[in-house]
Amino acid sequence: MPDRQKPLSRRFSVAPMMDWTDRHCRFFLRLLSQNALLYTEMVTTGALLHGDAKRFLQHHVSEHPLALQLGGSNPDELAACAKMAEQAGYDEVNLNVGCPSDRVQNNMIGACLMGHPQLVADCVKAMRDAVSIPVTVKHRIGINGRDSYQQLCEFVDTVHQAGCHSFTVHARIAILEGLSPKENRDIPPLRYDVVRQLKSQFPHLEIILNGGIKTLDECQQHLQTFDGVMLGREAYHNPYLLAEVDQRLFGNPHAVPTRLQTLEKPRPYIETHIAQGGAMHHVTRHVLGLAQGFAGARRFRQLLSVDVHKAKDPLAVFDLALQQLQGH
């Protein structure tokens, strides 16, 4: 677990992604970068307060620095959940004001909250009063019907007044009617210029850029303007990108691990997971993107996505997959 006295770095982070950034995914990503800030999938306040909180909060000590993303809009419930996050050892709690799903809209969770800046501010204040770990917000640059730059500034200023100093901004609006969550990640145009303007207007706030970033060269370029960058789908589909993050973005001199070196490490973790009644593919489904563009890559993905389900000895399949990474 990181030193709580040391300020949390958001220079590079991996976005919260539903069905993807579970604890097994985060364990794997941490093998590639020691410095990246990792986020959980969004967890709703209802799930934590009325469901299996232990399961939702479970994580491996190696995952730190680690943030829990919450979905909700009731200040008291969010405060209670933030307290649970702090007690479970999380380093940050983040409020989701960016998810455009209809499923969450009906419950006043996610991007629809951009239309209610004072409520978001009340939620942030309640969480900040309840915990000593940082409380941050992830949001869009607007929603349909409320997408002017002035309204974005009003939102950020109102939430800042409640004590939030770090904003992760997805540089697209969310269109809450007519587009699916998937379409909302692609169809609204990226507007880095709007987030750039926001940073120049609020230079004292930490502004993290999110949306459409695909390479470390782009990260380095954006870091000349912004305080941090957050990658989502690219980090999941092309995880080996993270192998150079510590060296290129944090100045750490240690050698970049090979793909083989990276994937040799989680074998004991997988053995433990199987011994506890879990299936190997719970872990290995997250590593498929590690092999791309070289001989053996396709076989690697087939072994861990197809053959593993038919195998009596899944660890033997894992070892076969490792062989495909020789020299890479």
Residues annotated catalytic, as ranges: 99
Strands (E), 106-165: 135-143
d(CA 168, CA 193): 15
d(CA 86, CA 94): 12
d(CA 23, CA 11): 21
Instruction: Tell me the three-class secondary structure of 232-249, residue by residue.
Output: CHHHHHCHHHHHHHHHHH
Q: For residue 109, what are the CA distances in angstroms to 39, 66, 124, 193? A: 18, 22, 14, 27
d(CA 206, CA 256): 29
